[in-house]
Amino acid sequence: MSVLELKRVNLAYGKQIVVKDLSLSLGDGEIACLLGPSGCGKTTLLRAIAGFKSLHSGRIESSGQVLSSSTHTVAPEKRRIGMVFQDFALFPHLTAGANICFGIRNQSNRERQQRRSELLELIGLPECEDKYPHELSGGQQQRIALARAIAPKPRLLLLDEPFSSMDVELRNSLAREIRSILKHENITAVMVTHDQHEAFSMADQIAVISNGELLQWDNAENLYHSPENPFVAHFIGRSNFLKGIVCGSEVATVLGKLNYKIESGLVADASLQGQQVDVLIRPEYIQITHDTEQTAELISRDFQGGCYRYSLRLQSGEEVQALLPSQANYQLGDSIGIALSADKVSIFAQDQKRR
């Protein structure tokens, strides 16, 4: 039985629907991520799961128990759902240790102490027990907030943009650390973020949300290599779209013929043959080669350490981006021979590139 089950959830502010018909389910110990641009409704959805927002329609269930429906909302304090807040929301009048014990204040003294030292050990901050939140750094506050949320052993943990106030380096190391803590404790968790790298390093399953709609619910690899939808293709990673024409089991582009797989907006029937489609080309599909007639002009480049990101103008006038090793040193205006190397590319109906 799934730890979290959303069934056709609709959320609204007044008359404005901000989350539409969203369904997904999450198994025991899985870490999920709600990913989307700001204002897409992901934080509202998280607050609905926590019980701070009631549903317009639909249901939220956990292990068979209905937590929210359009008529009934179980109070947040009765849900056994922990939450880590964007600004941590540590209680400034309590020490780190007392903050951690806040949710288990009904347990016996001994149990509390044991759980507290266990968690402080787990998050690697045993020396911070008696410090007040303002004496801790951002990363330490973050970990105390996490320990506080998981101390009562919640059935589900929610994290609201947990790394947004950190600098980039801290983000990556904390994300890895927190993932290992959650896995160690076998905690089912849902995280909200707008940063795909955070989502990739934390989550088992990612829900891409735009304008309140769930576009794809999948793992990171599938989101990257077979986005079901042009928005997902654009939002995840860097992407180029080339025009192509379907012929047989292949699609013909200016860079040659490739195998394809069909995504949303297209139907695999006879009418597909000869149809103009958009073909998703990831930058790393493009390779340099000398034995080709297909050349492209280098119009800008961006040094990124191990590689250059080139913008190339094809003979057809279309522009693509490519990631190429930085040893190969081309100058602006050079003509470079390129070819595609990919097993299968995703194709989309034209005219529906962006939503």
Partner 1 sequence: MVTIAIVMAIPVIVILGFVLQPFNENWQHLLDNLLLEYISNSLLLMLGVSVGVLSMGIVSAWLTASCEFPGRAILSWLLLLPLSIPAYIIAYTYTGLLDFSGPIQGQLRVWFDWGYGDYWFPEVRSLTGAICMLSLVLYPYVYMMTRAAFLEQSISVLEASQTLGDSPLKGFFSVAVPLARPAIITGVSLALMETLADYGTVQYFGISTFTTGIFRAWYGLDDSVTSAQLASLLLTFVVVLILLERYSRREAKFHSVASKQKGVQRFQLTGWKAFFAALACSLPVIFGFIIPALQLFYWTITTADQSLNKDFFGLAMNSLVLATLAAVVAVCLALILSYAKRLLSTPLVNGAVTVSSMGYAIPGTIIAIGVMLPLAWFDTVFDGWLRSTFNVSSGLLFSGTLFALIFAYTVRFLSVSIQAVDAGLSKIKPSMDDAGRSLGLSPLGVLKKIHFPLMRGTVLTALLLVFVDVLKELPATLILRPFNFNTLAVRAYEMASDERLADAGAPALMIVLVGIIPVILLSRSIANTHIKSNNVPRNFGISLQKSVVTP
- The footprint of partner 1 (CB under 8 A) covers 50-52, 75-77, 79, 81-83, 85-87, 89-93, 102-103, 132, 134, 148-149, 152, 158
Choice between 83 and 174, CB closer to partner 1: 83
Start-to-end C-alpha separation, the chain: 35
State the amino acid at position 232 in one-letter form: V
CB of 26 to partner 1, least distance (A): 18
Cα 5 to Cα 25, 27, 37, 160: the distances in Å are 4, 9, 23, 19
Choice between 132 and 224, CB closer to partner 1? 132
Residue type for 48, please? A
Which residue, 158 or 208, has its beta carbon nearer to partner 1? 158
CB of 101 to partner 1, least distance (A): 10
Minimum CB separation of residue 182 from partner 1 in Å reads: 17
Cβ closest to partner 1, residue 152 vs residue 230: 152
Task: Give min distance, CB of 106 to partner 1, in A.
Answer: 8
Answer yes or no: are the C-beta atoms of 7 and 21 closer than 8 Å. Answer: no
Shortest Å, Cβ 47 to partner 1: 8
d(CA 104, CA 221): 39
- Taking the C-alpha atoms of residue 162 and residue 164, their distance in angstroms, rounded to an integer, is 6
**Residue (81 or 207) nearer to partner 1, CB:** 81
The DSSP call for residue 290 is S
| Helix (H) or strand (E) run with residue 220 in it | helix 220-225
Nearer to partner 1, 167 or 302 (CB): 167
Cα torsion through 164, 168, 170, 171, rounded to 10:
50
The least distance separating partner 1 from the CB of residue 77, rounded to whole angstroms, comes to 5
Q: Quick one: 317 exposed, middle or buried, by C-beta within 10 A (0-12, 13-18, 19+)?
A: exposed
Strands 276-281 and 344-349 come out as antiparallel
